[in-house]
């Protein structure tokens, strides 16, 4: 029996090898006669995910003609606006949710502190690792924000073939400096090209990704841009697009930063076209959270980044590329999508199992949203979307959370804003100040279908609905607390402050891992 099996597999192997040799000879003769043909293109779809940082719901030409975004406009005209695309209310958790397919409270709801031994749960299989298993080339250009203290947390150790960009949340756009050192990183070492506009370097790196891409492989490109996150800075040539007296300074620079993000995204579209990949591409563009208060416009939504109001968590997003069915182009969908859903959707498109269950980690929450894209079924398959749960990271926002079920959204806890921002921003926010931040203490309840701007709090009127929403929300208290928000507990035993800078000074003054190196 054993022997027979071995013979069988030997024969099979020989046949495969023979087929390969014949194919190689055939290819050679084809090359000889045609003078060099490209490798057979892949059947699997190319997947590009662009994340624009702190981008306001209304800050693109298709929502506000004052914003100059010809490339985004093209993508929307030839794609589908994702009108109800939900994320976390700020940065790192939205990215972790995308990369692991979990709702934020099932991965983490904190931003990694620069000096903390924190990073996205190392036991979770990130999306690029899944896609790599499915034969994809996987590349990342831009901002990481998923931990850096240990090399195990770096992009190339979590499934990316290559990465370039920076590891933390923000830095000078022109000097790549944060605190005492430069945060600029390529694969497994500091990137010494610091000292110029980061977006221009990303454009170059994107060209390299495509130049070096093996056409026989499907491509996964993750492009989490630094724009339009603070510091609010843009090159003069982009500022020149907006008249000096058109609006206040912050707003003018922010608009220019949106145009830069538009340019980098457009560059990727051109590269996909030049490499005959566009027709077989799904490209998704989204913000990681709502526009920041006193900077971006989330018109007509309420609130901004750092709040669970729609302006913080329902973000500008669209899908485009040759794979969008012709009948869906130039349209928009109201189907609910959470950023965690892309994990499952992309795995399915790539033909790899999205299951990532195991000890000490919650299963993947994301659901396949391809039927929403095609229009086959625009109803959400989620019983409920947990935007955040029992979040008490900082003393100023104790025990916050939010959940969507059906047409209702429950918000728990005090919502926090940085400045005297307008709760409902006009398109050209924020050159005037408005009311102070609003409490949802203990709760706010909205019908987000009939009242998308959340002007009518139902929490004191609709007590039956409130109870149902609270029951749903509170059911998450039955989950093991130690598995929620993983990583934030590992804050001890680190070289803090001056010590860390001293460490970096012996390492060329670049941010880098300081444990297990």
Question: Applying CB under 6 A, which residues contact ligand NAG?
Answer: 71, 121-123, 172, 175, 177, 182, 194-195, 231, 233, 243, 245, 263, 266-267, 270, 355, 357-360, 419-420, 432-433, 486, 508-509
Written as six digits, the tokens of 455 are 């002007």
Closer Cβ to ligand NAG, 35 or 243, answer by number: 243
Minimal distance in Å, beta carbon 122 to ligand NAG? 6
**How far is residue 231's CA from residue 375's CA, in Å, rounded to a whole number?**
39
The answer to whether 351 and 393 are in contact (CB under 8 A) is no
Instruction: Give the residue with the Cβ less far from ligand NAG, 299 or 504.
Output: 504
Taking the least distance from each CB to ligand NAG, the nearer of 417 and 459 is 417
Q: Which is nearer to ligand NAG, 127 or 182 (CB)?
A: 182
CB neighbour class for 170 (10 Å; exposed up to 12, middle 13-18, buried from 19): middle
Q: Give the Cα separation of 212 and 462 in Å (integer).
A: 58
Nearer to ligand NAG, 298 or 421 (CB): 421
Identify whether the C-beta of residue 484 lies closer than 8 Å to the C-beta of residue 105: yes
Question: Which lies closer to ligand NAG via its Cβ, residue 250 or residue 374?
Answer: 250
Nearer to ligand NAG, 427 or 470 (CB): 427
CB 336, min distance to ligand NAG, A: 23
Q: How far is the CB of 340 from ligand NAG (least distance, A)?
A: 17
Alpha-carbon torsion 205, 210, 211, 212, what sign? Answer: positive
- Reference 277, options 287, 288, 269; nearest CA is 269
| Nearest-approach distance from CB 103 to ligand NAG, in angstroms | 17
Minimum CB distance to ligand NAG, residue 182 (Å): 4
- What is the residue-wise DSSP string for 391-450? E-SSTTSTTEEEEEETTEEEEES----SSS--SB--TTTTSS--------SSEEEEETTT
Are the C-beta atoms of residues 136 and 218 closer than 8 Å to each other? yes
Least spacing, CB of residue 380 vs ligand NAG, in Å:
21
Q: How far is the CB of 446 from ligand NAG (least distance, A)?
A: 27
DSSP string, 310-330: HHHHEE-EEEESTTS-GGGTT
Between residues 138 and 486, which has the closer beta carbon with respect to ligand NAG?
486
Minimum CB–partner distance for residue 120 and ligand NAG (Å): 9
Q: What percent of the chain is helix, strand and coil (3-state, nearest 5)?
A: 30, 20, 50
User: In the bound complex, what is the minimum distance in angstroms from residue 109's beta carbon to ligand NAG?
Assistant: 15
Which CB sits closer to ligand NAG, 67 or 444? 67
Measured between alpha carbons, how far is 392 from 2 in angstroms, rounded to an integer? 60
**360 vs 497, beta carbon nearer ligand NAG:** 360
Measured distance CA(121)–CA(119) in Å, rounded: 6
- Pick the closest to residue 143 from 243, 222, 36, 32 (CA basis): 222
Per the CB < 8 A criterion, the answer to whether 67 and 262 are in contact is no
**257: its two tokens:** 């930063």
Name the minimum Å distance from CB 401 to ligand NAG: 22
Closer by beta carbon to ligand NAG, 73 or else 162: 73
Least separation in angstroms between residue 381's CB and ligand NAG is 16
| Of 95, 128, 124, nearest in space to 109 by CA | 95
């Amino acid at each position: 029996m054993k022997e027979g099996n071995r013979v069988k597999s030997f024969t099979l192997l020989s046949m495969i090898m023979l087929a390969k040799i014949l194919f190689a000879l055939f290819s050679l003769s084809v090359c000889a006669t045609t003078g060099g043909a490209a490798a057979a293109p892949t059947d699997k779809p190319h997947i590009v995910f662009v994340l624009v940082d702190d981008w306001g719901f209304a800050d693109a030409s298709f929502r506000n003609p004052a914003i100059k975004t010809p490339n985004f406009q093209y993508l929307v005209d030839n794609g589908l606006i994702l009108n109800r695309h939900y994320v976390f209310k700020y940065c790192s958790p939205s990215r972790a949710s995308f990369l692991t397919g979990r709702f934020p409270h099932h991965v983490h709801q904190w931003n990694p502190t620069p000096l903390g031994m924190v990073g996205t749960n190392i036991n979770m299989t990130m999306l690029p690792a899944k896609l790599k298993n499915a034969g994809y080339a996987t590349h990342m250009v831009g901002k990481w924000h998923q931990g850096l203290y240990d090399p195990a947390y770096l992009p190339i150790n979590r499934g990316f073939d290559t990465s370039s960009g920076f590891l933390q949340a923000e830095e000078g756009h022109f000097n790549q400096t944060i605190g005492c050192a430069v945060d600029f990183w390529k694969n497994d070492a500091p990137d010494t090209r610091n000292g110029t506009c980061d977006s221009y370097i990303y454009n170059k790196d994107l060209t390299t990704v495509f130049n070096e891409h093996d056409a026989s492989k499907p491509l996964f490109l993750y492009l989490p841009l630094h724009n339009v996150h603070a510091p609010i800075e843009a090159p003069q040539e982009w500022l020149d697009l907006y008249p000096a007296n058109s609006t206040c300074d912050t707003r003018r620079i922010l608009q220019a930063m949106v145009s830069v993000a538009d340019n980098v995204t457009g560059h990727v579209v051109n590269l996909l076209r030049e490499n005959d990949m566009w027709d077989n591409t799904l490209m998704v563009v989204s913000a990681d959270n709502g526009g920041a208060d006193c900077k971006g416009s989330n018109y007509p939504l309420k609130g901004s980044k750092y709040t669970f109001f729609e302006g913080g968590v329902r973000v500008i997003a669209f899908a485009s590329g040759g794979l969008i069915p012709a009948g869906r182009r130039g349209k928009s969908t109201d189907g609910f999508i959470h950023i965690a859903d892309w994990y499952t959707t992309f795995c399915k498109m790539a033909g790899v199992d999205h299951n990532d269950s195991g000890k000490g980690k919650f299963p993947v929450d994301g659901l396949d949203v391809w039927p929403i894209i095609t229009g086959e079924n625009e109803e959400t398959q989620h019983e409920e979307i947990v935007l955040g749960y029992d979040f008490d990271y900082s003393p100023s926002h104790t025990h916050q959370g939010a959940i969507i079920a059906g047409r209702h959204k429950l918000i728990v806890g005090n919502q926090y804003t940085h400045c005297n921002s307008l709760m409902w921003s006009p398109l050209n926010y924020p050159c005037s100040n408005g009311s102070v931040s609003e409490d949802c203490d203990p709760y706010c309840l909205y019908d987000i279908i009939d009242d998308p701007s959340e002007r009518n709090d139902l929490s004191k009127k609709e007590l039956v609905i409130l109870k149902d929403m609270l029951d749903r929300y509170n059911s998450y208290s039955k989950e093991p607390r130690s598995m929620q928000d993983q990583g934030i507990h590992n804050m001890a035993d680190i070289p803090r402050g001056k010590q860390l800078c001293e460490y970096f000074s012996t390492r060329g003054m670049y941010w880098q891992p300081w444990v297990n190196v």
